[in-house]
């Protein structure tokens, strides 16, 4: 796909519209994010049920996205990505409305799974934006949309807290439902439809598919694996984070929140700069530079595990966020480029499924390691995981160089 159906002078405005819609919709979903445990505690009849529900309420939507993102992506490739964005936003609005009226733990968990399975807004939004933006600006595009998600998450969590301070959890979900509905109307009225390419509409043609699914190509499969390892590394701290900071540094809750928020702030500050740095870099060069970034993350995490100074720990979390800006957006742009133009929705759906599955794995692994080995070793495990990411990047670059070297004599 290209931006041939959208006037060049409109592309920038449409990308900004996508940024705002993604910020509002993701912020709407994050309004309830930090507060589900509080709501579920009041509804749970036992500690066992609460313990299960406290995990399932977050894992459920992720699992729904894992199982359906590729399917929705393929539908978007055939019929257009704008309808898929509207479908996702309507799904979010309806499920949030249902959640507002649900007072049974099991119904809430089912609705959260359905929410992930029926929604999945980010992948079609990325595919739509790729279809109108120049390929040369793809890394910057993914970084821009990722910034939107992070800013929305921060703003949504604050807004949800303010609502809960003055009203009930019911109104958080009602507000989120209204905001998602407004975003769906905005997509329908503001964004022009971009037709799918003819080859994507008829996927049985030889030009559209090969003997194997496109994601099994060595380049895309390797990049998906690297994204998976990096996200596992990032999410290992998710479950034990607050307990670790409390037990090691003995600080107030606001300091815990500050550390958590600075990670996102570092990402927001750096993502666009990293995108410009990696723009138009060939794959081997990008992998080499990203290996240095992952190695720096490994070093930072080792220091985070050693330090007993809260000031150093806070600075490390901001620096970690800055480095994270060079990972997922850049890798997503590399995957998008490697996929070509015919199956963007499908490939980005696969990438979204990979990201969600890796997040689930990281959350589970972090909880298990902190229980088995102890909280004090949490950041050393994160450091080790980043070392594995460096090894994966080095091996992929060597494999790519070996393939190129083997092709050169054949061409001669």
What confidence tier does 207 reach under pLDDT thresholds 50, 70, 90?
Answer: very low
Instruction: Indicate whether 407 belongs to any domain.
Output: no
The CATH number that applies at residue 253 is 1.20.1250.20
Instruction: Indicate whether 408 belongs to any domain.
Output: no
Q: Report the distance separating Cα 373 and Cα 368, nearest Å.
A: 8
Contact criterion met (CB below 8 Å) for 148 and 24: no
Map tokens 């595919």 to a residue.
127
> Can you say whether the dihedral through the CA atoms of 309, 311, 317, 322 is positive or negative?
negative
Residue 201: C-alpha distances to residues 3, 75, 197, 217, 404 (Å): 18, 9, 6, 22, 33
Kindly report the pTM of this predicted structure: 0.74
Q: Which of 189, 185, 77 is nearest to 123 (CA)?
A: 77
Q: Report the distance separating Cα 64 and Cα 353, nearest Å.
A: 9
pLDDT at 147 (0 to 100)? 83
Instruction: Indicate whether 410 belongs to any domain.
Output: no
Q: Report the distance separating Cα 13 and Cα 142, nearest Å.
A: 16
Contact criterion met (CB below 8 Å) for 244 and 371: no
337 in the same domain as 312: yes
Instruction: Indicate whether 405 belongs to any domain.
Output: no
33 in the same domain as 167: yes
**Based on the number of CB atoms within 10 Å of its own CB, is 402 exposed (0-12), middle (13-18) or buried (19 or more)?**
exposed
Residue that is last in its domain, among 183, 202, 221: 202
Q: Which residues contact 3 (CB under 8 A, 6 or more apart)?
A: 11, 131, 132, 133, 134
Does residue 208 carry a pLDDT above 50?
A: no
Range of the domain at 351: 210-400
In SS3 terms, the chain reads as CCCCCCCHHHHHHHHHHHHHHHHHHHHHHHCCHHHHHHHHHHHCCCHHHHHHHHHHHHHHHHHHHHHHHHHHHHHHHHHCHHHHHHHHHHHHHHHHHHHHCCCCHHHHHHHHHHHHHHCCCHHHHHHHHHHHCCHHHHHHHHHHHHHHHHHHHHHHHHHHHHHHHHCCHHHHHHHHHHHHHHHHHHHHHHCCCCCCCHHHHCCCCCCCCCCCCHHHCHHHHHHHHHHHHHHHHHHCCCCCHHHHHHHHHCCCHHHHHHHHHHHHHHHHHHHHHHHHHHCCCCHHHHHHHHHHHHHHHHHHHHHHHHCCCHHHHHHHHHHHHHHHCCCHHHHHHHHHHHHCCCCHHHHHHHHHHHHHHHHHHHHHHHHHHHHHCCHHHHHHHHHHHHHHHHHHHHHHHHHHHHHHHHHHHHHC
217 in the same domain as 153: no
Instruction: Indicate whether 409 belongs to any domain.
Output: no
Q: What is the pLDDT of residues 149-164, one digit of tens each?
A: 878 877 887 788 888 8
Number of domains in the chain: 2
Between 111 and 335, the higher pLDDT residue: 111
Q: Report the distance separating Cα 351 and Cα 368, nearest Å.
A: 25
pLDDT at 403 (0 to 100)? 57
Residue that is last in its domain, among 142, 167, 202: 202
Instruction: Indicate whether 90 belongs to any domain.
Output: yes
Residue that is last in its domain, among 202, 231, 261: 202
300 in the same domain as 163: no
Find the radius of gyration of the CA atoms of the chain.
21
Mean pLDDT of 197-210: 46
174 in the same domain as 228: no
Does residue 405 carry a pLDDT above 60?
A: no
Contact criterion met (CB below 8 Å) for 297 and 403: no
104 in the same domain as 74: yes
Percent of the chain with pLDDT over 90: 32
Q: Report the distance separating Cα 364 and Cα 347, nearest Å.
A: 26
188 in the same domain as 215: no
Mean pLDDT of 317-333: 90
Q: Report the distance separating Cα 69 and Cα 74, nearest Å.
A: 9
- Encode burial over 244-262: b for 16+ CB neighbours within 10 A, e otherwise: bbeebbeeeeebbebbbbb
Instruction: Indicate whether 113 belongs to any domain.
Output: yes
296 in the same domain as 166: no
Q: What is the pLDDT of residues 340-368, one digit of tens each?
A: 666 667 787 788 888 888 988 998 888 78
Q: Report the distance separating Cα 204 and Cα 221, nearest Å.
A: 22
What confidence tier does 213 reach under pLDDT thresholds 50, 70, 90?
Answer: low
142 in the same domain as 49: yes
Instruction: Indicate whether 305 belongs to any domain.
Output: yes
Q: Report the distance separating Cα 113 and Cα 193, nearest Å.
A: 29
Q: Which of 355, 249, 246 is nearest to 307 (CA)?
A: 249
pLDDT at 135 (0 to 100)? 73
pLDDT at 211 (0 to 100)? 45
Greatest Cα-to-Cα distance within the chain, rounded to the nearest angstrom: 73
Map tokens 């309004």 to a residue.
31
Mean pLDDT of 39-61: 84
184 in the same domain as 235: no
pLDDT at 165 (0 to 100)? 82
292 in the same domain as 174: no
Q: What is the pLDDT of residues 218-254, one digit of tens each?
A: 688 889 999 999 999 998 987 778 778 888 888 876 7
237 in the same domain as 124: no
């Amino acid at each position: 796909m290209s931006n041939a159906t959208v006037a060049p002078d409109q592309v920038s405005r449409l990308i900004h519209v996508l940024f705002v819609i993604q910020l509002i919709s993701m912020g709407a979903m994050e309004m309830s994010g930090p507060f589900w445990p509080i709501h579920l505690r009041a509804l749970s009849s036992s500690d066992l049920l609460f313990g299960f529900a406290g995990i399932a309420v977050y894992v459920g939507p992720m699992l729904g996205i894992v199982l359906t993102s590729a399917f929705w992506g393929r539908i978007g490739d055939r019929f257009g990505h704008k309808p898929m964005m509207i479908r996702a936003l309507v799904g979010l609005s309806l499920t949030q409305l249902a959640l507002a009226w649900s007072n049974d733990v099991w119904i809430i968990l089912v609705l959260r799974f359905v929410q992930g399975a029926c929604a999945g807004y980010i992948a079609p939004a990325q595919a739509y934006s790729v279809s109108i933006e120049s390929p040369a600006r793809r890394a910057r595009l993914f970084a821009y949309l990722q910034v939107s998600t992070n800013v929305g998450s921060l703003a949504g969590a604050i807004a949800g807290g303010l609502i809960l301070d003055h009203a009930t959890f019911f109104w958080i979900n009602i507000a989120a439902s209204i905001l998602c509905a407004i975003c769906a109307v905005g997509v329908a009225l503001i964004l022009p439809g971009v037709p799918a390419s003819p080859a994507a509409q008829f996927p049985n043609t030889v030009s559209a598919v090969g003997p194997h699914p496109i994601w099994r190509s060595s380049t895309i499969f390797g990049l998906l694996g690297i994204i998976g390892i990096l996200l596992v590394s990032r999410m290992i701290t998710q479950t034990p984070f607050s307990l670790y900071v409390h037990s090691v540094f003995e600080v107030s809750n606001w300091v815990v929140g500050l550390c958590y928020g600075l990670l996102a702030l570092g990402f927001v500050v750096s993502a666009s700069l990293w995108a410009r740095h990696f723009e138009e870099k060939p794959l081997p060069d990008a992998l080499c530079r990203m290996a240095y970034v992952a190695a720096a993350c490994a070093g930072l995490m080792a220091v985070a595990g050693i330090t007993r100074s809260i000031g150093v720990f806070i600075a490390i979390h901001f620096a970690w966020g800055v480095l994270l800006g060079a990972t997922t957006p850049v890798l997503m742009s590399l995957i998008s480029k490697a996929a070509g133009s015919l199956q963007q929705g499908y490939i980005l759906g696969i990438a979204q499924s990979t990201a969600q599955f890796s997040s689930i794995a990281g959350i589970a692994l972090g909880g298990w390691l902190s229980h088995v080995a102890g909280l004090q070793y949490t950041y050393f495990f994160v450091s080790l995981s980043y070392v594995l990411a460096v090894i994966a990047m080095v091996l992929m670059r060597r494999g790519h160089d070996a393939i190129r070297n083997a092709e050169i004599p054949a061409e001669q």
